Each structure stands twice: as structure tokens, then as C-alpha cells.
Amino acid sequence: MISTKNVLYAILQRSKETQEVSIDQIAEQTKLSNQQVIEIIANLNEDTSSKLSFNKNTIYIPRKNKAQIILKVIESGFDLDRIIDSLHWSDFENFCLTVFEFHEFQTFQNFHFTQKRNRYEIDVLGFRDPLMFAIDAKKWKTGHAGALKAVAKKQIDRIKALSEYLQKPANQAKLHLKNVPNLRIIPLIVTSKMYEIQIFHGVPIIPFFKLNSFITELSRFLGILKQFPVKIRVQKTLLSYNFP
């Protein structure tokens, strides 16, 4: 079990800037033989839906599969600060995508829009009728309260602009929104520098390793979260009749 945990962490660490990792490097770092590393990866592939491709020399880790490795390393009890240090900033976005998709949200990544001549970007959008989460997923160097409050306020301004942008049917179509009469957008921040869920100005700030439990227990939080309503025009279906 310890060997598996160490192999997972080594893969995570070595894949920070690349999607291909040398088995020689993993074996050297974990003090295992190449064959032992290969056997551990094969066993992991039997336990996860996201398979790792490998041959006798190389492990291939697609970005979309990286979140599964992160989850397994977290579950193994590995030190969180070491996990965070081994992650690329884009891993946070992909992690959010994976978690929301697991909970059957439709997701969009790096959504750009212009409202009142200002340009905005949302890292991740997660939609499941009638809620849409607008997520700022950041690997921060600081996590003090003043910085978190400022980021929460900035996220509110960004999502307010998004809610105004989505008032137009043409813009709704870009996110495939239809027949959602009471859409509510919730600003959300996922961070690497906290260990407990906090809420500033109605904006939840979630440690990345607690995102899954936050969504699972969402009903506990909804009443205190900032929400931006958007009216989506419901398309009426015309019925056709065959008259005798």
C-alpha cells in the first residue's frame, strides 16, 4: 500500500509539466524496480475508470485523467502541501471539471465573454438545472483573509457581468441554455491555500480536496450563497393536429 501511494505521488510530481513520465524515474524515486512500478500501475488501472497508458519505458498521463490520480493521492493520506506543490495551475481547472462532471454537471472550460466593453473569463462553468456554478480555480501563493475577501468580491463582479450577458438569447445559446426558466448562477472559488470551507460575501471558497463533499452536501449551503438569477425564455412546442 505504501509503495502504491509513493508511486502515485511520484507520477503526480513528475507529470507537473508533461504528460509523459519515464518509468525509470518513478522506479528511482520510489526505490522500486521497473517491473514493480509496472505492476502497481496495472493494478491501479483495474481500480479506476481513467486508465493510464504505459509501456515498459513510459507512462502517459492525459490531463483529463490527472484528476483521478490527484483524488487517489488525497485518499491515500499523502501530505496536502506536498500534493499542492506537485500540481500545475491547470490541474486545478481540470480537477474541478472532473468533479462536476462526476456529479452530472455539464461543464465548460475557459469561457470568455464581453459585457459592457469589458472582457471576462470564467475558468470553469458547471451547469445542472437550475444551478450554474461559475468557478475561479486558482493555485494561490497566499491564503490570508484579506486576499480571499478581495478575490470573492472580484468574482461577484465577474458573475454579475455574466448574469447580465446571459440575458440575451443569443448568448444563452453559446452555453446551450434553453428551457431553464429559473437559472441561478453561483460564484465559487477553489483554492489550494485553505483547509476548511469559508464563505465571504456569500461566495464559497473551497479547498480543492473538499470540492466533492461540498457538491454532495450542497443543500446545506444553498440558503447562504450569493446567487444571480437569469431568466431563460422557455421555448414553446407547437402541436400539430390532423383535422378530418
Per-residue pLDDT of 103-145, as tens digits, reads: 999 999 999 999 999 999 999 999 998 999 999 987 765 556 6
Q: What is the predicted pLDDT for the residue at 223? A: 92
In the chain, what percentage of residues exceed pLDDT 70? 89
Over 60: is that where the pLDDT of 244 sits? no
Domains of the chain: 2-87 (1.10.10.10), 90-230 (3.40.1350.70)
| pTM (2 d.p.) | 0.79
Going by their DSSP bridges, the two strands 131-138 and 183-191 should be labelled as parallel
Per DSSP, the residues of 128-181 read ETTEEEEEEEE--S---HHHHHHHHHHHHHHHHHHHHHTTSHHHHHHTT--S-T
Q: What is the predicted pLDDT for the residue at 238? A: 46
Q: Which of 30-39, 65-74, 190-199 has the highest mean pLDDT?
A: 30-39
Mean pLDDT, rounded, of the chain: 85
Q: What are phi and psi of 184, to 5 degrees?
A: -130, 125
- Which stretches of 17-88 are DSSP H helices? 23-30, 34-47, 63-75, 80-85
